[in-house]
């Protein structure tokens, strides 16, 4: 199985586009290689990137056209009729390039779902990480480090946790403010080490529940 990793262009300015482009495509695991008789180089990553760009741009155009007030209904339908085969074929190309299963239901989702639908499509085909899975992974790493620090004496554990809280993964920042507050209280002498340890364990559990309640893509 070959791994492909490459960058996507950063999002356009809000004044240029109502949709936020995904910033980075993570490493994609693909079992096949795409080559041609005239070019023996592995073109799989290139095919994934270009076909995904077609789907992304077509979805963006759909969003713009469906909201454009200056278009008559007749003209809007004419343009949409031209975009449907582009979206249909673009999703097939992505499925071929990534080795995932093509599903016509994804086309219908993209047709009406806009940016959120594209994110679901990108996650399914390995072009974007599932934010909930990423958040759980980062929290598991943080939990292991915090619990290790809590098992130590206060003088040793508190500085470690303070550093961990200051370097928490961006995806966790909104979910771990309680950890920062508790550590500040401990530093100021407002709570004891034993109370702090119990409160931190509860805060980590609360963070996990918050991640689970995150709205999907």
- 3-state SS string for the chain: CEEEEEECCCCCCCCCCCCCCCCEEEEEEECCCCCCCCCCCCCHHHHHHHHHHHHHHHHHHHHHHHHCCCCCHHHHHHHHHHHHHHHHHHHHHHHHHHCCCCCHHHHHHHHHHHHHHHHHHHHHCCCCCCHHHHHHHHHHHHHHHHHHHHCCCHHHHHHHHHHHHHCCCHHHHHHCHHHHHHHHHHHCCCCCHHHHHHHHHHHHHHHHHHHHCCCCC
pLDDT confidence of residue 217: 64
Q: Which of 22-36, 101-115, 147-161, 172-186 has the lowest mean pLDDT?
A: 22-36
> What pLDDT sits at residue 206?
94
| Per-residue model confidence (pLDDT) at position 102 | 94
pLDDT at 12 over 70: no
- Inform me whether the pLDDT recorded for 154 exceeds 70: yes
In the predicted structure, residue 84 carries a pLDDT above the cut 90: yes
Instruction: Tell me what the mean pLDDT of segment 75-92 comes to.
Output: 94
pLDDT average, residue stretch 183-211 = 95
The pLDDT value given to residue 128: 84
Average pLDDT over residues 150-179: 94
Does the pLDDT of residue 57 top 90, yes or no?
yes
* pLDDT-derived band at 45, boundaries 50, 70, 90: confident
pLDDT tier at 127, thresholds 50, 70, 90: confident
pLDDT for 28 = 60
pLDDT at site 131: 87
């Amino acid at each position: 199985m070959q791994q492909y990793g490459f960058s996507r262009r950063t999002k356009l300015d809000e004044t240029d586009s109502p949709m936020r482009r995904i910033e980075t495509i993570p490493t994609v695991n693909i079992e096949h290689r795409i080559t041609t008789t005239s070019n023996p180089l592995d073109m799989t990553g290139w095919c994934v990137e270009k076909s995904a760009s077609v789907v992304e741009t077509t979805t963006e155009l759909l969003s713009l056209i469906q909201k454009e007030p200056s278009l008559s209904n007749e003209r809007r339908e004419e343009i949409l009729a031209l975009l449907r085969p582009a979206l249909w074929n673009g999703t097939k190309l992505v499925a071929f390039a990534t080795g995932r299963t093509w599903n016509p239901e994804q086309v219908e989702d993209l047709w009406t779902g806009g940016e959120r639908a594209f994110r679901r499509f990108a996650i399914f085909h390995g072009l974007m990480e599932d934010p909930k899975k990423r958040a759980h992974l980062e929290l598991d790493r943080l939990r292991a480090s915090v619990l290790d620090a809590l098992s130590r004496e206060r003088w040793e554990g508190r500085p470690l946790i303070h550093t961990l809280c200051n370097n928490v993964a961006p995806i966790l920042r909104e979910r771990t403010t309680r950890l920062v507050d508790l550590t500040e209280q401990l530093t100021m002498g407002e709570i004891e080490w034993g109370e702090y340890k119990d409160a931190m364990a509860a805060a980590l559990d609360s963070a996990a529940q918050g991640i689970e309640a995150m709205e999907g893509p």
